[in-house]
Amino acid sequence: MAKYGFDLHIHSCLSPCAENSSLPADMAGMFALSGYKIAALTDHNSCGNCRPFLKACDHYSMLGIPGMELNTAEEVHVICLFKTIEDAERFSDYVYSTLPPVKNRKDLFGDQLYADELGNITGEEEKLLINASSIGIYQVKELAEQYQGLAYPAHIDRSSNSLLSNLGLWDPAMGFELAELSYSCPEDLLKKRKDLKGLKAIRATDAHRFGQIPSAPGQFMELESLDIPSVFEWLRTYAPSI
């Protein structure tokens, strides 16, 4: 068994709220320099930059995981992770079809850039990716599993785009076995809530730019094998509880 530093909520230049310099390969490289061994790219409503991110992770001897930060119909952000890039891209195509046909306003929201593993800009997404999809929060877990994925609500302690801020409570009927907390969440804040008792939780940087990448990992998972199935098993079984 070995311990691996990880972060499962990272953005690239495809997310309009990220900087154009946050190229997928460079984000992977910066996390590798900080000592991380497991990282997931989770751009808003898209897995479009996951392939170059995974190639870069492999180059830096990191385990890269393809993912997405899905925005549900209720404006709740949910992390969706996948075992293969093919499953991730099929899920991404479906999510794209559920987004409203609204063009991105670059002057308001920023660019949405596709890039390759060498850092070259290969295209630009015209549809605004940060809009809410038509996928409801009660659909997400089962939908992700249809693509061999794992889903859990992002940054539930935040005052916007979180499950608790938008819905008010944690309903077990949603089916989630895990939650994400921001690093700014106090240790005891959520322990006061009875609806969260015993819930497994991890933390994430939600890094959109280089300056948000810590100098060292803030959490670790202990695995027998450094692969995605082992990561999924750890998240479902061994992640710490609130």
Domain ranges of the chain: 2-237
Q: How far apart are the first and last CA of the chain?
A: 24
The pTM score is 0.97
d(CA 53, CA 40): 9
| Burial (0-12, 13-18, 19+ Cβ within 10 Å), 62 | buried
Is the pLDDT at 189 greater than 90, yes or no? Answer: no
d(CA 28, CA 52): 9
Is the pLDDT at 191 greater than 90, yes or no? Answer: no
> What are the CB-based long-range contacts (under 8 Å, 24+) for 139-144?
140/70, 140/72, 140/78, 140/80, 140/174, 141/174, 141/175, 141/176, 142/175, 143/91, 144/80, 144/82, 144/91
For the ranges 10-24, 153-167, 176-190, 225-239, the lowest mean pLDDT is seen at 176-190
Calculate mean pLDDT across residues 74-87: 98
Q: How confident is the model at residue 242 (pLDDT cuts 50, 70, 90)?
A: confident
Is the pLDDT at 214 greater than 90, yes or no? Answer: yes
CATH node for 2-237: 3.20.20.140
